Amino acid sequence: MASKTRPFAGPRFATEYSGRSAGTLEVPPADDTGETGPVADPTGSVRVPGTGPVGQVRNGYGKEQSSDLSGADATALEALQHRAKQHLSRITVAMLQKISTIPVSGLKCRRLIAEAAKTDFKLTGQEVEQWSGILIEMAWRAASSIQLQPDGADGMDIRAFVKVKTLEEGAPSDCEYVDGVIFRKNVAIRRMPTQVVQPRILLVGSCLEPERTSAITTFDTSIAQQDAALSKMFEQIQALHPSVILVEKSVNELMRKLMAEHGIALAMNVKRSILQRVARSTGGQVVHNVNTLPRAPAAQAALIGTCDEYLTQRIGDHSYMYLRGGTPAKGCTLVLRGAPLVLLKRLKNLLSFAVLAARSLFMEAYYYWDMY
């Protein structure tokens, strides 16, 4: 049976595709030169972004379907993805050339607000080329790495798990993709560790303060009771052997000193949304009452999150906590640096859109590869 070429109405990166019923594929060229982009290795097996082991294709939503990723099929899929990335590049470059039309939000300084209102701001050709390369690679990596569970609580919008941070200091070459979480916070006491490899992370969604009692006691008795309660609370926390603790609310001064003495890094007043992102990335759980921590080792292990590295770094006037090396499929942080704040805010909005567009193009490539 001869192979039948099927034209179809789809994204601009794919114009025609051959049906797989005959066992052969006519892959559309990836560019005007006729090159088809990445080619399968000599063994016949290909590892493409968003896929699991050979023979298992991940569709980007945590599901797997059986399929043969060898030979022409794999080359066709990669060619479609290459075309998708080219289309994303054209969109990004076009928007960078009209960067002044992108809205800016989150500015508090009047000077910055007035600067953001200017409509005659333009990037040079070299700047457009530089920033387009950075934004496209970040957006495509996020789109191809993160996996959603739509049948759970993830939803369909990938941007809920992609955080973009803007830092004026540095150069555009300092922009980075982080498999983990970055947030603005410093340790509670200066002598606490600022870097830990393979940290054990405990997330507390309440305060670490002694319980208040209504009984009438003397001042000395009340202080002694509070110290005893805090010591017992710290022993329960210490049983989990954490090296980094993030707390949503306040922490008693005695508790802070005990943590510093035992080499535990503590951050207080951390937003709940950040705790949830850290829990998702590191595989931990948010504890709401440390007085009821489980004693079983298996249950305790489920509460602790882990990653490759914890780092507190001073950048400009603020300190930032880095939790690098979390689960790549659960979320990421994209760091934009090396430009005025107004430009970075515009680039942030553009990057957020590019992530959404890249995800759509990435999934469409799988759809057309599977359908045709």
Per the DSSP assignment, residues forming a β-bridge with 66 are: 56
Q: What are 89-139's pLDDT values in tens digits? A: 999 999 888 887 777 766 655 555 665 556 567 888 899 999 999 999 999
pLDDT of 216:
60
pLDDT of 226:
78
Domain range list for the chain:
5-82, 181-210+219-326
Burial class (CB in 10 A: 0-12, 13-18, 19+), 289: exposed
In sign, the C-alpha dihedral spanning 6, 9, 10, 12 is: positive
Q: How far apart are CA 167 and CA 217, in angstroms?
A: 52
User: 261 or 59, which is more confident?
Assistant: 261
Please state, in angstroms and as integers, the Cα–Cα distance from residue 314 to each residue in 81, 177, 321, 322, following that order: 39, 18, 9, 11
Q: How far apart are CA 291 and CA 278, in angstroms?
A: 22
Span 262-281, average pLDDT? 94
pLDDT of 283:
92
What's the CATH class of domain 181-210+219-326?
alpha beta
pLDDT of 165:
93
